[in-house]
Amino acid sequence: MKFCKVADIEDWQQPEFQATAAMLKLKRKVRKSWEFIQVYNGLQALGLLDGQTRAIGLGVGHEPLIYAFTHVCQSVIATDLYDSQTWATASMATEQVYQQNLFEYGRDRLTVRHMDMTQIEYPDASFDFVWSCCSIEHVHNFRQLHQVFAEIHRVLKPGGIAALTTEFNPTAQHSYEPNMLFTDEHWINHWLTGNHALIQGFELLDAIDLTVTDHPGNHPVPRRQGGSIRALTRDIQLTSIAFFLRKTGAFAQPYHEEWLAPEIAQYFAGCDAHRSQQYAQAEALLQPLTTRSDLALRFRVGACHRLLDTLLSQGKKKAAIALCKAHLNDFLKDECSDHLMPIANCCDSLDLQAEAMALYQRIEQLPGSHVKQVERSHEVLQRYRTMPTNPVRRMMHRLLDQRNRQ
Protein backbone atom coordinates (compact mmCIF):
# COMPACT_ATOMS: atom_id res chain seq x y z
CA MET A 1 0.00 0.00 0.00
CA LYS A 2 0.93 3.67 -0.27
CA PHE A 3 1.77 4.96 3.22
CA CYS A 4 2.62 8.67 2.85
CA LYS A 5 -0.12 10.39 0.88
CA VAL A 6 -2.98 12.86 0.93
CA ALA A 7 -6.59 11.78 1.39
CA ASP A 8 -8.38 10.57 -1.75
CA ILE A 9 -11.99 9.43 -1.85
CA GLU A 10 -11.04 6.75 -4.37
CA ASP A 11 -9.10 4.95 -1.63
CA TRP A 12 -12.50 3.54 -0.65
CA GLN A 13 -12.42 1.51 -3.88
CA GLN A 14 -9.85 -0.78 -2.25
CA PRO A 15 -11.45 -3.86 -0.59
CA GLU A 16 -9.17 -3.61 2.45
CA PHE A 17 -10.15 0.04 2.90
CA GLN A 18 -13.83 -0.92 2.87
CA ALA A 19 -13.22 -3.79 5.30
CA THR A 20 -11.46 -1.54 7.82
CA ALA A 21 -14.18 1.11 7.48
CA ALA A 22 -16.78 -1.53 8.33
CA MET A 23 -14.75 -2.87 11.26
CA LEU A 24 -14.31 0.65 12.69
CA LYS A 25 -17.99 1.41 11.98
CA LEU A 26 -17.11 4.39 9.80
CA LYS A 27 -19.98 4.93 7.38
CA ARG A 28 -19.15 8.36 5.95
CA LYS A 29 -16.50 8.99 3.32
CA VAL A 30 -14.92 12.02 4.99
CA ARG A 31 -11.35 12.94 5.68
CA LYS A 32 -11.45 12.04 9.40
CA SER A 33 -12.61 8.52 8.56
CA TRP A 34 -9.87 8.34 5.92
CA GLU A 35 -7.26 9.12 8.59
CA PHE A 36 -8.36 6.30 10.90
CA ILE A 37 -8.50 3.76 8.08
CA GLN A 38 -5.16 4.83 6.59
CA VAL A 39 -3.40 4.53 9.96
CA TYR A 40 -4.94 1.14 10.76
CA ASN A 41 -4.22 -0.34 7.33
CA GLY A 42 -0.67 0.99 7.28
CA LEU A 43 0.16 -0.51 10.66
CA GLN A 44 -1.46 -3.78 9.62
CA ALA A 45 0.58 -3.88 6.41
CA LEU A 46 3.74 -3.36 8.48
CA GLY A 47 2.93 -6.38 10.68
CA LEU A 48 2.49 -4.26 13.81
CA LEU A 49 -1.01 -5.50 14.60
CA ASP A 50 0.00 -9.05 15.53
CA GLY A 51 -1.10 -8.96 19.16
CA GLN A 52 2.44 -8.55 20.50
CA THR A 53 3.09 -4.80 20.18
CA ARG A 54 2.87 -1.89 22.60
CA ALA A 55 1.17 1.26 21.25
CA ILE A 56 0.55 4.81 22.39
CA GLY A 57 -1.85 7.33 20.85
CA LEU A 58 -1.37 11.10 21.14
CA GLY A 59 -4.35 13.46 21.22
CA VAL A 60 -6.72 10.59 20.47
CA GLY A 61 -9.90 11.70 22.26
CA HIS A 62 -12.28 8.73 22.01
CA GLU A 63 -11.56 7.79 18.40
CA PRO A 64 -12.34 4.21 17.28
CA LEU A 65 -8.67 3.25 16.83
CA ILE A 66 -8.26 3.22 20.62
CA TYR A 67 -10.63 0.28 20.94
CA ALA A 68 -9.72 -1.49 17.69
CA PHE A 69 -6.05 -1.68 18.65
CA THR A 70 -6.85 -3.56 21.88
CA HIS A 71 -7.74 -6.59 19.72
CA VAL A 72 -4.42 -6.56 17.87
CA CYS A 73 -1.89 -5.12 20.36
CA GLN A 74 -0.54 -6.32 23.68
CA SER A 75 -1.20 -2.95 25.32
CA VAL A 76 -2.66 0.38 24.20
CA ILE A 77 -2.12 3.75 25.89
CA ALA A 78 -4.61 6.48 24.89
CA THR A 79 -3.55 10.03 25.79
CA ASP A 80 -5.05 13.47 25.38
CA LEU A 81 -5.67 16.66 27.37
CA TYR A 82 -8.77 15.07 28.86
CA ASP A 83 -11.11 17.34 30.86
CA SER A 84 -10.11 20.06 28.40
CA GLN A 85 -12.01 23.35 28.35
CA THR A 86 -10.64 24.13 24.87
CA TRP A 87 -10.79 21.01 22.71
CA ALA A 88 -14.23 19.41 22.34
CA THR A 89 -12.73 16.05 21.35
CA ALA A 90 -10.90 15.89 24.69
CA SER A 91 -13.57 17.41 26.92
CA MET A 92 -14.53 14.16 28.65
CA ALA A 93 -12.85 12.71 31.73
CA THR A 94 -10.45 9.81 31.34
CA GLU A 95 -12.89 7.38 32.96
CA GLN A 96 -15.55 8.28 30.41
CA VAL A 97 -13.30 7.24 27.51
CA TYR A 98 -13.59 3.60 28.54
CA GLN A 99 -17.34 3.75 27.84
CA GLN A 100 -17.24 5.49 24.44
CA ASN A 101 -16.59 2.36 22.36
CA LEU A 102 -18.91 1.44 19.47
CA PHE A 103 -17.83 -2.21 19.54
CA GLU A 104 -16.45 -4.73 22.03
CA TYR A 105 -12.82 -4.25 22.99
CA GLY A 106 -10.14 -5.57 25.36
CA ARG A 107 -10.67 -3.40 28.42
CA ASP A 108 -7.72 -4.98 30.24
CA ARG A 109 -5.36 -3.91 27.42
CA LEU A 110 -6.33 -0.22 27.43
CA THR A 111 -4.99 2.57 29.65
CA VAL A 112 -6.35 6.12 29.28
CA ARG A 113 -4.23 8.97 30.60
CA HIS A 114 -4.28 12.76 30.66
CA MET A 115 -0.98 13.71 29.02
CA ASP A 116 0.63 16.52 27.05
CA MET A 117 2.14 15.20 23.81
CA THR A 118 5.14 17.51 24.27
CA GLN A 119 6.02 15.59 27.46
CA ILE A 120 5.22 11.90 27.06
CA GLU A 121 5.48 10.33 30.52
CA TYR A 122 7.05 7.03 29.51
CA PRO A 123 10.68 5.86 29.38
CA ASP A 124 12.80 5.80 26.24
CA ALA A 125 12.12 3.00 23.73
CA SER A 126 8.81 1.99 25.32
CA PHE A 127 6.62 1.49 22.25
CA ASP A 128 6.56 -0.36 18.97
CA PHE A 129 4.41 2.32 17.39
CA VAL A 130 2.99 5.75 18.09
CA TRP A 131 -0.11 6.97 16.31
CA SER A 132 -1.86 10.32 16.13
CA CYS A 133 -4.70 11.50 13.89
CA CYS A 134 -4.86 15.25 13.27
CA SER A 135 -3.55 16.24 16.69
CA ILE A 136 0.13 17.09 16.36
CA GLU A 137 -0.68 20.39 14.64
CA HIS A 138 -2.64 21.60 17.67
CA VAL A 139 0.27 23.05 19.63
CA HIS A 140 1.13 26.70 20.22
CA ASN A 141 4.10 27.04 17.89
CA PHE A 142 6.60 25.19 15.73
CA ARG A 143 9.11 24.86 18.55
CA GLN A 144 6.53 22.81 20.44
CA LEU A 145 5.77 20.78 17.30
CA HIS A 146 9.48 19.94 17.03
CA GLN A 147 9.35 18.85 20.67
CA VAL A 148 6.41 16.55 19.86
CA PHE A 149 8.49 14.82 17.18
CA ALA A 150 11.43 14.59 19.60
CA GLU A 151 9.20 12.91 22.17
CA ILE A 152 7.74 10.50 19.61
CA HIS A 153 11.30 9.58 18.59
CA ARG A 154 12.38 9.12 22.20
CA VAL A 155 9.62 6.71 23.25
CA LEU A 156 9.79 4.58 20.09
CA LYS A 157 11.90 1.46 20.06
CA PRO A 158 14.65 1.35 17.41
CA GLY A 159 12.90 0.59 14.14
CA GLY A 160 9.56 1.66 15.65
CA ILE A 161 6.91 3.40 13.58
CA ALA A 162 5.19 6.77 13.93
CA ALA A 163 1.86 6.67 12.04
CA LEU A 164 0.68 10.26 11.86
CA THR A 165 -2.00 12.19 10.06
CA THR A 166 -2.29 15.95 10.08
CA GLU A 167 -4.17 18.71 8.30
CA PHE A 168 -2.69 19.61 4.93
CA ASN A 169 -3.08 22.86 3.01
CA PRO A 170 -2.50 22.20 -0.73
CA THR A 171 -2.56 25.90 -1.68
CA ALA A 172 0.42 28.24 -2.05
CA GLN A 173 -0.79 30.37 0.89
CA HIS A 174 0.73 29.37 4.22
CA SER A 175 -1.81 28.93 7.01
CA TYR A 176 0.32 28.82 10.15
CA GLU A 177 -1.56 29.85 13.28
CA PRO A 178 -1.07 29.04 16.97
CA ASN A 179 -2.76 25.68 17.66
CA MET A 180 -3.49 25.31 13.92
CA LEU A 181 -0.14 24.58 12.28
CA PHE A 182 -1.42 23.31 8.95
CA THR A 183 1.27 21.54 6.95
CA ASP A 184 1.97 22.41 3.32
CA GLU A 185 4.67 21.68 0.73
CA HIS A 186 6.98 24.29 2.23
CA TRP A 187 6.70 22.61 5.65
CA ILE A 188 7.30 19.14 4.19
CA ASN A 189 10.39 20.31 2.31
CA HIS A 190 11.96 21.79 5.44
CA TRP A 191 10.83 19.33 8.10
CA LEU A 192 10.79 15.95 6.39
CA THR A 193 12.44 15.76 2.98
CA GLY A 194 15.09 18.47 2.60
CA ASN A 195 18.85 17.93 2.87
CA HIS A 196 18.82 19.52 6.33
CA ALA A 197 15.37 18.46 7.48
CA LEU A 198 14.38 19.53 10.98
CA ILE A 199 13.15 16.01 11.76
CA GLN A 200 16.20 13.75 12.06
CA GLY A 201 16.42 10.12 13.11
CA PHE A 202 13.42 9.07 11.02
CA GLU A 203 12.92 7.83 7.48
CA LEU A 204 9.72 8.07 5.50
CA LEU A 205 8.45 4.65 4.47
CA ASP A 206 7.85 5.90 0.93
CA ALA A 207 7.86 9.11 -1.07
CA ILE A 208 5.09 11.53 -0.15
CA ASP A 209 2.36 11.55 -2.79
CA LEU A 210 0.49 14.86 -2.94
CA THR A 211 -1.64 13.97 -5.96
CA VAL A 212 -5.33 13.08 -5.91
CA THR A 213 -7.66 11.76 -8.56
CA ASP A 214 -10.16 14.03 -10.28
CA HIS A 215 -13.09 12.28 -8.66
CA PRO A 216 -15.87 14.78 -7.83
CA GLY A 217 -15.66 13.66 -4.21
CA ASN A 218 -12.18 15.18 -4.01
CA HIS A 219 -13.37 18.62 -5.11
CA PRO A 220 -13.37 21.19 -2.28
CA VAL A 221 -16.69 22.12 -0.70
CA PRO A 222 -17.46 25.01 1.69
CA ARG A 223 -16.52 24.18 5.27
CA ARG A 224 -20.02 25.00 6.51
CA GLN A 225 -21.41 22.03 4.57
CA GLY A 226 -19.18 19.50 6.34
CA GLY A 227 -18.71 15.89 5.32
CA SER A 228 -15.95 16.16 2.71
CA ILE A 229 -12.46 15.02 1.81
CA ARG A 230 -11.33 18.56 0.95
CA ALA A 231 -12.89 21.73 2.36
CA LEU A 232 -12.80 25.44 1.57
CA THR A 233 -11.86 26.77 4.97
CA ARG A 234 -10.66 30.22 6.02
CA ASP A 235 -9.12 31.43 2.74
CA ILE A 236 -7.46 28.13 1.77
CA GLN A 237 -8.33 24.51 1.04
CA LEU A 238 -7.83 21.84 3.69
CA THR A 239 -7.50 18.08 3.55
CA SER A 240 -5.58 15.35 5.41
CA ILE A 241 -2.20 13.78 4.86
CA ALA A 242 -0.55 10.69 6.34
CA PHE A 243 3.13 10.26 7.22
CA PHE A 244 4.61 6.91 8.26
CA LEU A 245 8.06 7.36 9.80
CA ARG A 246 10.50 4.69 10.97
CA LYS A 247 12.97 5.45 13.77
CA THR A 248 16.43 4.93 12.29
CA GLY A 249 18.94 6.98 14.29
CA ALA A 250 19.55 9.83 16.70
CA PHE A 251 17.23 12.84 16.86
CA ALA A 252 20.10 15.30 16.64
CA GLN A 253 18.76 18.39 14.87
CA PRO A 254 17.85 21.27 17.24
CA TYR A 255 14.96 23.49 16.26
CA HIS A 256 15.61 26.73 14.40
CA GLU A 257 13.33 29.15 12.55
CA GLU A 258 15.47 29.83 9.50
CA TRP A 259 12.91 27.93 7.43
CA LEU A 260 10.21 30.50 8.30
CA ALA A 261 9.80 33.89 6.68
CA PRO A 262 10.95 36.53 9.21
CA GLU A 263 7.51 38.12 9.44
CA ILE A 264 5.91 34.77 10.28
CA ALA A 265 8.50 34.14 12.98
CA GLN A 266 7.78 37.64 14.35
CA TYR A 267 4.03 36.94 14.25
CA PHE A 268 4.46 33.78 16.31
CA ALA A 269 6.78 35.57 18.73
CA GLY A 270 4.03 38.16 19.25
CA CYS A 271 1.42 35.45 19.81
CA ASP A 272 3.73 33.67 22.27
CA ALA A 273 4.32 36.91 24.16
CA HIS A 274 0.57 37.50 24.42
CA ARG A 275 -0.02 33.97 25.70
CA SER A 276 2.61 34.49 28.41
CA GLN A 277 0.93 37.84 29.30
CA GLN A 278 3.91 39.90 28.15
CA TYR A 279 1.50 42.31 26.50
CA ALA A 280 3.83 45.24 25.87
CA GLN A 281 6.25 42.93 24.06
CA ALA A 282 3.41 41.37 22.08
CA GLU A 283 2.17 44.80 21.02
CA ALA A 284 5.66 45.87 19.94
CA LEU A 285 6.03 42.73 17.80
CA LEU A 286 2.57 42.70 16.23
CA GLN A 287 1.88 46.38 15.56
CA PRO A 288 4.53 46.83 12.82
CA LEU A 289 3.12 43.84 10.93
CA THR A 290 -0.31 45.49 10.59
CA THR A 291 0.99 48.35 8.44
CA ARG A 292 3.60 46.72 6.20
CA SER A 293 2.38 47.19 2.65
CA ASP A 294 4.82 44.55 1.39
CA LEU A 295 2.95 41.82 3.30
CA ALA A 296 -0.13 40.04 1.99
CA LEU A 297 -3.42 41.51 3.12
CA ARG A 298 -4.42 38.20 4.73
CA PHE A 299 -1.30 38.34 6.89
CA ARG A 300 -1.85 41.96 7.94
CA VAL A 301 -5.42 41.13 8.95
CA GLY A 302 -4.19 38.21 11.03
CA ALA A 303 -1.74 40.51 12.78
CA CYS A 304 -4.58 42.98 13.45
CA HIS A 305 -6.63 40.20 15.04
CA ARG A 306 -3.80 39.26 17.40
CA LEU A 307 -2.98 42.91 18.13
CA LEU A 308 -6.62 43.58 19.03
CA ASP A 309 -6.46 40.75 21.58
CA THR A 310 -3.29 42.28 23.02
CA LEU A 311 -4.72 45.80 23.23
CA LEU A 312 -7.90 44.63 24.93
CA SER A 313 -5.89 42.50 27.38
CA GLN A 314 -4.20 45.76 28.44
CA GLY A 315 -7.48 47.65 28.68
CA LYS A 316 -6.52 49.88 25.72
CA LYS A 317 -10.05 50.33 24.44
CA LYS A 318 -9.39 53.58 22.53
CA ALA A 319 -6.42 52.06 20.70
CA ALA A 320 -8.52 48.99 19.82
CA ILE A 321 -11.28 51.21 18.40
CA ALA A 322 -8.74 53.18 16.37
CA LEU A 323 -7.26 49.95 14.99
CA CYS A 324 -10.67 48.63 13.91
CA LYS A 325 -11.56 51.85 12.14
CA ALA A 326 -8.17 52.29 10.49
CA HIS A 327 -8.11 48.79 9.00
CA LEU A 328 -11.80 48.20 8.28
CA ASN A 329 -11.37 48.37 4.51
CA ASP A 330 -8.71 45.65 4.72
CA PHE A 331 -11.00 43.54 6.88
CA LEU A 332 -13.82 43.81 4.36
CA LYS A 333 -11.55 42.55 1.56
CA ASP A 334 -10.16 39.60 3.49
CA GLU A 335 -11.50 36.05 3.20
CA CYS A 336 -10.25 34.40 6.41
CA SER A 337 -13.31 34.05 8.62
CA ASP A 338 -11.20 32.73 11.52
CA HIS A 339 -9.61 36.17 11.80
CA LEU A 340 -12.66 38.20 10.78
CA MET A 341 -14.96 36.57 13.33
CA PRO A 342 -13.04 37.65 16.45
CA ILE A 343 -12.51 41.09 14.90
CA ALA A 344 -16.27 41.41 14.29
CA ASN A 345 -16.93 40.32 17.87
CA CYS A 346 -14.48 42.96 19.10
CA CYS A 347 -16.25 45.64 17.06
CA ASP A 348 -19.56 44.50 18.52
CA SER A 349 -18.23 44.67 22.08
CA LEU A 350 -16.69 48.11 21.41
CA ASP A 351 -20.05 49.48 20.17
CA LEU A 352 -18.72 49.85 16.63
CA GLN A 353 -22.06 48.68 15.35
CA ALA A 354 -21.78 49.65 11.71
CA GLU A 355 -18.33 48.11 11.43
CA ALA A 356 -19.48 44.93 13.18
CA MET A 357 -22.55 44.64 10.98
CA ALA A 358 -20.49 44.98 7.79
CA LEU A 359 -18.06 42.32 9.01
CA TYR A 360 -20.77 39.87 10.06
CA GLN A 361 -22.38 40.27 6.65
CA ARG A 362 -19.03 39.52 5.05
CA ILE A 363 -18.59 36.39 7.17
CA GLU A 364 -22.06 35.15 6.24
CA GLN A 365 -21.10 35.22 2.58
CA LEU A 366 -17.63 33.64 2.71
CA PRO A 367 -17.47 29.98 1.59
CA GLY A 368 -14.70 29.28 4.11
CA SER A 369 -16.80 30.29 7.13
CA HIS A 370 -17.62 27.62 9.68
CA VAL A 371 -21.30 26.90 10.25
CA LYS A 372 -21.05 28.26 13.80
CA GLN A 373 -19.56 31.49 12.47
CA VAL A 374 -22.42 31.82 10.00
CA GLU A 375 -24.98 31.17 12.74
CA ARG A 376 -23.36 33.72 15.06
CA SER A 377 -23.21 36.31 12.27
CA HIS A 378 -26.85 35.74 11.37
CA GLU A 379 -27.88 36.05 15.02
CA VAL A 380 -26.10 39.40 15.50
CA LEU A 381 -27.30 40.76 12.16
CA GLN A 382 -30.87 39.95 13.11
CA ARG A 383 -30.39 41.87 16.34
CA TYR A 384 -29.01 44.89 14.49
CA ARG A 385 -31.74 44.78 11.85
CA THR A 386 -34.48 44.90 14.47
CA MET A 387 -33.04 47.96 16.21
CA PRO A 388 -35.58 50.82 16.38
CA THR A 389 -33.38 53.24 14.40
CA ASN A 390 -31.62 52.87 11.07
CA PRO A 391 -28.37 54.90 11.25
CA VAL A 392 -26.30 51.76 11.77
CA ARG A 393 -27.68 50.15 8.63
CA ARG A 394 -27.08 53.29 6.60
CA MET A 395 -23.51 53.52 7.86
CA MET A 396 -22.93 49.83 7.09
CA HIS A 397 -24.09 50.28 3.50
CA ARG A 398 -21.86 53.34 3.17
CA LEU A 399 -18.88 51.31 4.33
CA LEU A 400 -19.66 48.47 1.94
CA ASP A 401 -20.12 50.87 -0.97
CA GLN A 402 -16.80 52.49 -0.13
CA ARG A 403 -15.08 49.09 -0.14
CA ASN A 404 -16.66 48.12 -3.48
CA ARG A 405 -15.41 51.30 -5.15
CA GLN A 406 -11.80 50.57 -4.16
Residue type at 206 in one-letter notation: D
Q: How confident is the model at residue 389 (pLDDT cuts 50, 70, 90)?
A: low
Average pLDDT, rounded, for the chain = 93
pLDDT tops 80 at residue 392: no
DSSP state of 170: -
Selected residue with higher pLDDT from 387 and 314 = 314
Residue range 95-112: mean pLDDT, rounded: 96
Domain layout of the chain by residue ranges:
5-247, 261-326, 330-406
How much is the pLDDT for 175?
Answer: 95
How much is the pLDDT for 194?
Answer: 81
Closest CA to 339 of 365, 314, 373, 372: 373
Strand partners for 162: 130, 245
How much is the pLDDT for 396?
Answer: 56
- Least confident interval from 66-80, 164-178, 375-389: 375-389
Instruction: Give 138-152 as a DSSP string.
Output: -SSSHHHHHHHHHHH
pLDDT tops 80 at residue 242: yes
CB 142 within 8 A of CB 110: no
Residue range 203-230: mean pLDDT, rounded: 95
Residue 168: how many other CB atoms lie within 10 Å = 25
What is the number of residues in the chain? 406
Q: What is the pLDDT of residues 14-31, one digit of tens each?
A: 999 999 999 999 999 999
Environment class of 287 (CB within 10 Å of its CB; exposed 0-12, middle 13-18, buried 19+)? middle
Distance of alpha carbon 158 from alpha carbon 247, whole angstroms: 6
- Least confident interval from 175-184, 217-226, 300-309: 217-226
pLDDT tops 90 at residue 32: yes
Percent of the chain with pLDDT over 70: 94
Residue 209 makes CB contacts below 8 A (sequence gap 6+) with 2, 4, 5, 6
Q: How confident is the model at residue 199 (pLDDT cuts 50, 70, 90)?
A: very high
CB 163 within 8 A of CB 115: no
Residue 76 makes CB contacts below 8 A (sequence gap 6+) with 55, 56, 57, 66, 69, 70, 109, 110, 111
- Rounded to the nearest 10 degrees, what angle do helices 353-365 and 371-385 cross at? 140
How much is the pLDDT for 16?
Answer: 97
Environment class of 178 (CB within 10 Å of its CB; exposed 0-12, middle 13-18, buried 19+)? middle
Q: What is the pLDDT of residues 41-86, one digit of tens each?
A: 999 999 999 999 999 999 999 999 999 999 999 999 999 999 866 6
**Class of the 5-247 domain?**
alpha beta
Residue 157 makes CB contacts below 8 A (sequence gap 6+) with 125, 126, 127, 128, 247
Closest CA to 164 of 249, 223, 100, 245: 245
How much is the pLDDT for 402?
Answer: 57
Instruction: Give 186-199 as a DSSP string.
Output: HHHIIIIISTT-S-
| Alpha-carbon torsion angle 66, 72, 77, 83, nearest 10 | 10
Instruction: Give 331-362 as a DSSP string.
Output: HHH---HHHHHHHHHHHHHTT-HHHHHHHHHH
Residue 266: how many other CB atoms lie within 10 Å = 17
Percent of the chain with pLDDT over 90: 89
